[in-house]
Amino acid sequence: MAEAVGMGQDIEQFERRFVRSVGARKSLVEYPDGDCIFLDPQTRGCTVYQARPIQCRTWPFWTSNLEDPKAWQQTARHCPGCNQGPVYTLQEIEQRRRQREEL
């Protein structure tokens, strides 16, 4: 991601600016409203889409979003990409959910 951002930063500089610790894990910095630092507020698109981490590549197929239809609907109200794009099979959804759980 440090290369994709294209700011001439090494990994350490990138992490100081764009990454925060969450327990033993690392997470991208977010705006006060919870949006990712790399989500363009105008277009609502990811500015580093091709280099996004697995956390983002598996969204919205996280267990918490798949618990029931109400959870999915709530996610869809806040995520501009939810219910857009290709239709995934149950097997593909499960594969992405498992990838997220392995983090």
| Residue found under tokens 């697995």 | 54
Residues 6+ apart with CB under 8 A from 38: 5, 18, 28, 46, 47, 48, 52
**What values do phi and psi take at 15, rounded to 5?**
-65, -40
The string of pLDDT tens digits covering residues 48-103 is 988 888 888 898 999 999 999 999 999 999 887 889 889 999 999 999 989 888 87
Residue 27 corresponds to which tokens in the numbers above? 């997470």
Q: Do 68 and 103 reside in the same domain of the chain?
A: yes
| Residue found under tokens 């996280």 | 62
Cα distance between residue 97 and residue 22, in whole Å = 20
**What integer pLDDT is reported at residue 102 of this predicted model?**
80
Q: Do 36 and 12 reside in the same domain of the chain?
A: yes
> What is the residue range of 67's domain?
58-103
In which band, very low, low, confident or very high, does the pLDDT at 4 lie, cut at 50, 70 and 90? Answer: confident
| Residue found under tokens 């977010």 | 30
Q: What is the reported pTM? A: 0.73
Task: Count structural domains, the chain.
Answer: 2
Helices (H), the chain: 2-5, 11-18, 54-57, 63-66, 69-78, 90-101
Q: Do 64 and 81 reside in the same domain of the chain?
A: yes
Q: Do 38 and 63 reside in the same domain of the chain?
A: no
